[in-house]
Amino acid sequence: MQAFLIPNHLTDGGVVGISIIATHVTGLPIGFFLLCLNAPFIYLGYKKLGSIFAISSSVGLLFMSLMTGLFHSSSAATTEPILAAIFGGLAIGIGSGVVIRYGGTLDGTEIVAILAEKKSPFSVGELIMAMNLLILGVAGFVFGWDRAMYSLVAYAVAYKAMDITAEGLDQSKSVWIVSNKYLEIGEAIRQELGRKVTYVNGRSVDGIVSNGVILSVITRIEEQKLKAVVATCDPRAFVVISDVHEVMGQNFESKT
């Protein structure tokens, strides 16, 4: 924030964005607004989501506020707005992603969206997007519309960086394979990819066991090799591959 966003009059979404705007208007330290604006949301999160969430979020917010006080925006790392938007968004996204990964948050608007979803026809993502578009709209009046558009770039970069940091780069994929040659395919997956498999009996609508079903978890770089293995064993096999955000336990780990 201090090296890229604030000196270039760029902002982000959520409480961070509101704090940047408030700092520009009032001249008060941004750490002051980060703590004051987030405090009610942290308390609300404590009541609704538990003490671990509140403690993790409080520690993250406290350190972020202290660091913004130590590192002032007297000189910008770059005066090029597109570079400031990209690298400022990366820094905020990675920092927020680390906190989310360990059970906290640095933005109270996410808590509001989670709780409001229960009484609203809109999803959490839609509510957060609406709030952030409103904040970026206010930034347009405060900083100018060109800076608001650059701020939108920073927000998009931050959102993607936060997502990758929170979920990790090693994205796994779950695979369901239906085939009457399921034993042959399962053994080939074990031998060629070094992945464990789980067999499930498949039944048709009349209750007759006609096919076997294989469940396995692979990495994204193994997807093409798995397709080749299945095609070699049974070109008519029914295959479903989908993204997995998290894999726990040892049953699906590689045997190598």
Q: How far is CA 152 from the centre of its chain?
A: 17
Secondary structure of 81-99 as H, E, C letters: HHHHHHHHHHHHHHHHHHH
Q: Which pLDDT band, with edges at 50, 70 and 90, does 202 fall under?
A: low
User: What is the rounded distance in angstroms from the CA atom of residue 164 to the CA atom of residue 7?
Assistant: 27
The pLDDT-based confidence of 212 (bands split at 50, 70, 90) is confident
Angle at 54 (CA atoms; ends 99, 129), nearest 5 degrees: 60
Q: What is d(CA 74, CA 200) in angstroms, rounded to the nearest whole number?
A: 63
Helix, strand, or coil here: 178?
strand
Position 181 pLDDT exceeds 60: yes
**Together in a domain, 32 and 75:** yes
Residue 239: C-alpha distances to residues 3, 69, 205, 251 (Å): 49, 54, 19, 21
- Same domain membership, residue 71 and residue 33: yes
CA-CA distance, 88 to 80, in Å (whole number)? 12
pLDDT by residue (tens digit) across 65-112?
A: 888 877 765 677 888 999 999 999 999 888 888 877 776 677 777 667
**Length in residues, the chain:** 256
Residue 251 lies in a domain: no
pLDDT value at residue 256: 43
Which of 148, 167, 186 is the last residue before a domain boundary?
Answer: 167
Q: Which of 167, 197, 222 is the last residue of a domain?
A: 167
Do 2 and 72 contact (CB within 8 A), yes or no? yes
Q: Is pLDDT of 245 > 60?
A: yes
Q: Is the dihedral of CA 134, 75, 38, 55 positive or negative?
A: positive
Do 67 and 89 belong to one domain? yes
Residue 255 falls inside a structural domain:
no
219 and 107 together in one domain: no
Domain for residue 132, yes or no?
yes
CATH of the domain at 208: 3.30.70.120
pLDDT, position 78: 86
Instruction: Say yes or no: 193 and 220 in one domain.
Output: yes
Q: Which H or E run includes 31?
A: helix 30-49
Same domain, 62 and 103: yes
Flag whether 250 is in a domain: no
| Token reading at 136 | 């970026």
Q: Which residue has the higher pLDDT, 184 or 101?
A: 184
Q: Is 109 in the same domain as 229?
A: no
Mean pLDDT in residue range 213-227: 86
Domain identity same for 202 and 145:
no
Are residues 210 and 106 located together in one domain of the fold?
no
**pLDDT > 70 in the chain, percent:** 82
Q: Quick check: is 256 in a domain? A: no
- Report yes or no on 254 lying in a domain: no
Number of structural domains the chain divides into:
2
43 and 96 co-located in one domain = yes
Q: Residue range 163-182: average pLDDT?
A: 80
Show which of 167, 186, 214 is a domain's final residue.
167
- Looking at the domain assignment, is residue 67 inside a domain? yes
Give residue 204's pLDDT.
59
Domain that holds residue 25: 6-167
Distance of CA 59 to the CA centre of its chain: 20
- The pLDDT of residue 200 is above 90: no
Same domain, 65 and 141: yes
Banded pLDDT at 219 (limits 50, 70, 90):
confident
Task: Indicate if 177 and 219 belong to the same structural domain.
Answer: yes
Tell me if 25 is assigned to some domain.
yes
